[in-house]
Amino acid sequence: QQQVKQSPQSLIVQKGGISIINCAYENTAFDYFPWYQQFPGKGPALLIAIRPDVSEKKEGRFTISFNKSAKQFSLHIMDSQPGDSATYFCAASRSLYGGATNKLIFGTGTLLAVQP
């Protein structure tokens, strides 16, 4: 119930193509779904996040699509660039009352390589 399943494990995309990474979750109490981007030698950094009250969120070339009934969400990178080459992690958590600490459950990661 606590797992977040991520696929594919690795992905090679040509420059200008669309990169798609998928995640699935089981716990229906999850209500926050971020994506983190990690470059080699760096820690992960928040890229984009969505809540289940919307089905899509777009920030520049990055879009999250959310399917509540299927308990799935995905990251789409349009016009992929070599600079997007990184490891991407999806995650999920549920809001807690009283300002208590949220624990993010991370997926296993996707290594994206965008070829020039």
Partner 1 sequence: DVKVTQSSRYLVKRTGEKVFLECVQDMDHENMFWYRQDPGLGLRLIYFSYDVKMKEKGDIPEGYSVSREKKERFSLILESASTNQTSMYLCASSLRGRLGEKLFFGSGTQLSVL
Residues near partner 1, by CB under 8 A: 2, 6, 9, 32, 34, 36, 41-46, 49, 89, 93, 95, 99-104, 106-109
Q: Which is nearer to partner 1, 53 or 116 (CB)?
A: 53
Distance, CA of 33 to CA of 31 (rounded, Å): 7
Walk across the sheet containing 4-7 and list its strands: 4-7, 19-25, 72-77, 62-67, 56-59
Look up residue 81 and give its amino acid.
Q
Residue 44 · residue 35 · CB < 8 Å? no
Q: Which is nearer to partner 1, 15 or 42 (CB)?
A: 42
Q: Residue 71 Cβ, how far from partner 1 at the closest point, in Å? A: 18
Q: Which is nearer to partner 1, 70 or 100 (CB)?
A: 100
